[in-house]
Amino acid sequence: MIRNPVLPGFNPDPSFCRVGEDYYLATSTFEWFPGVQIHHSTDLVNWRLVARPLRRAAQLDMRGNPDSCGIWAPCLSHAEGKFWLVYTDVKRFDGAFKDAHNYIVTCDTIDGEWSDPIYVNSSGFDPSLFHDDDGRKYFMNQRWNHRGRGTGGNPKHASFDGILLQEWSPDRGLFGPVRNIYDGTERGLTEGPHIFKRDGWYYLTVAEGGTGYDHAVTMARSRSIWGPYETHPAKHVITCAHDPAHPIQRTGHGQYVEGHDGRHWHTFLMGRPLRLPSGFYCPMGRETGLAEVEWRDGWLWLKDGGQLPPETIQAEAERPPRNAVAYDFTHGALPADFQWLRHPHPERLFRTSSQGLRLIGRESIGSWFEQALVARRQEDFAYQATTVLDFDPEHYQQAAGLTTYYNRFKFHALMLTNEPGIGRALTILSCPGDFPHGALEHPTAPVPVGPGPVELRVAVDHASQQFLWRQGGDWHAIGPALNAAVISDEGGRGEHGSFTGTFVGMAAFDTSGMGREATFGRFAYVPQ
C-alpha cells in the first residue's frame, strides 16, 4: 500500500525520475545543508535517502541566505548514462528582487561525487532540463519580473512572468532564441515547469496558485516544444483548493513518470494541516505525495477521477510502521537524518568524537551566517526527542540545548547557560512567530542545575509541546506548555513566506566569540 505522504516531513517540490526499475525523488532543501535530498525506491512504497549531492563549497555556499531561500525546486533527470541535477540558489526573498542563480551538476551514479556546478542563468527560479529524443536539451525556468509588486508575504501575480525556454548544451551553454512558452491560467503564480514527450506531443506541467492552499498541478500540451501550448480541459490535474475538508492540502508542484510496469504516476507536494480554531498549521511543512494517473483522450487524469489526490493507493509492498530511532554520534560521520544550516564548512560548527557530537558555539540561534545547529525533520504530529548534554558555560552569552526550530522567527529552545547570581541554569528561549522582529520570549525563570551532564527532552503533541529535564531520577517539566502550531509554515510570516518545515535538534551559541563547545552524547526520536 502506498500511503501519502511517501516522504514525510519537510520534502517539497518533488522531481520524479525513473531509471529502469529504480525510482528517484529529488526534493528541495532551502537553507539546510547539504543541498537537495534524493530518495530511492523500487516499489514506490518504501523510500530510502541515498544522496545529498551538493556537499562542497564549490557547489553551494548559503551563508547569508535569508530564511526559506537557498535550494528551490531541483530537477533530476537521467540521460546519456548519467544523472543531471538542476537547481536554484536563491539569495534574496523580500522586496522586488529574487537573485535566483541556476546551475547544473552531473554524476555517473546517484550516490557518487557530483560535479562542480555549471552556471546557466539567473532570470528566475524553478529550473528544469528536458532531454529530447533527438539528443537536444532544453532549459526552462519561471521568469521573475521585478517590476511587479514583489512578495511582501503574499505573492503577486505580476511578478510571475511566464515560463522561459531555451536550448542548452554542455559545450555551448544557453544558445539560440529564448521564448516565453506559457503564461499559465488565471490561477496565476505559474512556476515549477517540467516537460515530457509522448505520442508526438510535448506536455508541460507547472505549479500554480502559490505554494499554499490554492496550489495546483496544471497541464498543457503542444506539437512543438516552442508552443503554442493548449491548457488541459480541466486546467488542473491535481488540486485541493476547492475542498478544505480533504485530509491532504496544498497540493501542487510535481512531475510525471511512466512506471516500468505500465502504470502512470505523478508526484506532488502536500501538507497535513493541524486544524485549529485559529486556522490551519503544517508543522511538517510541505511533504511529498504520489498519485496514480491515467491517459484519457491525450490528457492525464487522476485514476480515481476528480482532482483530489488519494491518501492511499493499492500496491503490493507494505511500509513498516514508524519506530523510534536512537542516534549515536561516536562512530564518525553525522547520521544521515541530520543536517545543519547554510555553512559549507561543517568543521567550523561541529565534529563527532568518542564523547558524542561536539557543537562549537558560534553566532546566535537564528543566524543566517554561522550557526551551530544540527537537527532532523519532524515527521510526526506527536513525538518525543531526547538528548544528553555536557556543557560548562561561563556566562549567559554561552548556551546550548534542545530546540524545535523552523527559522529565526519561529523556534523554542531549552538551553543550558550560566545566569548571573545563579550559575548553571536551564532557561527557555522562545520566538513564537514574531515576524519581522524576531523578539525573544522567556516563558520561565531560570532553573538551577547541578554539575555534570543534563538530559533534555521535548514532548510534542500536535499543537502543544512541553520541555522536560533530569539529572538522574525522574523527569521534571520546565516552563509552561508552548504553542507548537506556530512552529509551522503558517506561523508568524505565514505560508507564502515560509517554505521549509519544523526540525528538532541540538544547538549551541557563544556570542562572546570564544567558541565554547558543548557535547551531546546521544539523541533519540520517538514517534508517539
Q: Do residues 153 and 34 touch, judged by C-beta distance below 8 A?
A: no
301 with 336, same domain: the answer is: no
Q: Say whether both 182 and 293 belong to one domain.
A: yes
Q: Is residue 305 domain-shared with residue 334, that is, in the same domain?
A: no
**Tens-binned pLDDT, residue by residue, of the chain (528 aa):** 999 999 999 999 999 999 999 999 999 999 999 999 999 999 999 999 999 999 999 999 999 999 999 999 999 999 999 999 999 999 999 988 999 999 999 999 999 999 999 999 999 999 999 999 999 999 999 999 998 766 545 566 789 999 999 999 999 999 999 999 999 999 999 999 999 999 999 999 999 999 999 999 999 999 999 999 999 999 999 999 999 999 999 999 999 999 999 999 999 999 999 999 999 999 999 999 999 999 999 999 999 999 999 999 999 999 999 999 999 999 889 999 999 999 999 999 999 999 999 999 999 999 999 999 999 999 999 999 999 999 999 999 999 999 999 999 999 999 999 999 999 999 999 999 999 999 999 999 999 999 999 999 999 999 999 999 999 899 999 999 999 999 999 999 999 999 999 999 999 999 999 999 999 999 999 999
In a domain, 422, yes or no: yes
Provide the 3-class DSSP secondary structure of residue 247.
coil
Asked, for residue 188, whether it belongs to a domain, the answer is yes
State how many domains the chain has: 2
Q: Which of 292, 313, 334 is the last residue of a domain?
A: 313
**Containing H/E element for 88?**
strand 82-90
Residues 279 and 418 both lie in one domain: no
User: In this structure, is residue 320 part of a structural domain?
Assistant: no
Which grid coordinates are listed for 408?
Answer: 529565526
Q: What pLDDT is attached to residue 157?
A: 79
Q: Could you give the CA distance from residue 348 to residue 33 in angstroms, rounded to a whole number?
A: 13
Catalytic residue among 370, 379, 495, 517: 370
Specify if 519 maps to a domain: yes
Compute the distance between CA of residue 232 and CA of residue 243 in angstroms, rounded to an integer.
Answer: 20
Within-domain flag for 428: yes
Least Cα distance to 124 among 180, 78, 171, 177 occurs for 180
Question: Quick one: 405 and 508 in the same domain?
Answer: yes
Same domain membership, residue 352 and residue 281: no
Examine the domain organization and report whether 135 and 223 are in the same domain.
yes
- Whole domain around residue 106: which residue ranges? 2-313
Picking from 313, 345, 367, the residue at the C-terminal end of a domain is 313
Provide the CATH number for the domain around residue 331. Answer: 2.60.120.200
31 and 78 belong to one structural domain: yes
Under 8 Å CB-to-CB from 125, ≥6 apart: which residues?
A: 72, 73, 88, 90, 98, 100, 102, 141, 142, 144, 191
Facing residues of 163 across strands?
Answer: 142, 182
The conformation of residue 54, written as its DSSP 8-state character, comes to: B
> Considering the entire predicted model, what is its pTM?
0.96
Answer whether residue 481 is part of any domain: yes
Residue 318 belongs to some domain of the structure: no
Q: Which residues, in sequence order, are CB contacts of 67 under 8 Å at separation 6+?
A: 31, 93, 368, 407, 408, 409, 498, 500
55 and 138 assigned to the same domain:
yes
pLDDT of residue 332: 85
Three cell numbers, residue 527: 514517534
Residue 274, C-beta contacts closer than 8 angstroms, at least 6 positions apart: 280, 281, 282, 283, 381, 462, 463, 485, 488
Per the annotation, the verdict on 370 as an active-site residue is yes
Residue 319 forms part of a structural domain: no
Task: Residue 118: give its domain's CATH number.
Answer: 2.115.10.20
CA distance linking residue 429 with residue 400, whole number of Å: 11
- Clarify whether residues 26 and 167 are in a common domain: yes
Choose the final residue of a domain: 313, 336, 354: 313
269 neighbors 26 (Cβ within 8 angstroms): no
345 shares a domain with 283:
no
Residues 410, 300 share a domain: no
* Distance from C-alpha of 136 to C-alpha of 120, rounded to nearest angstrom: 16
Single-letter residue type at 76: L
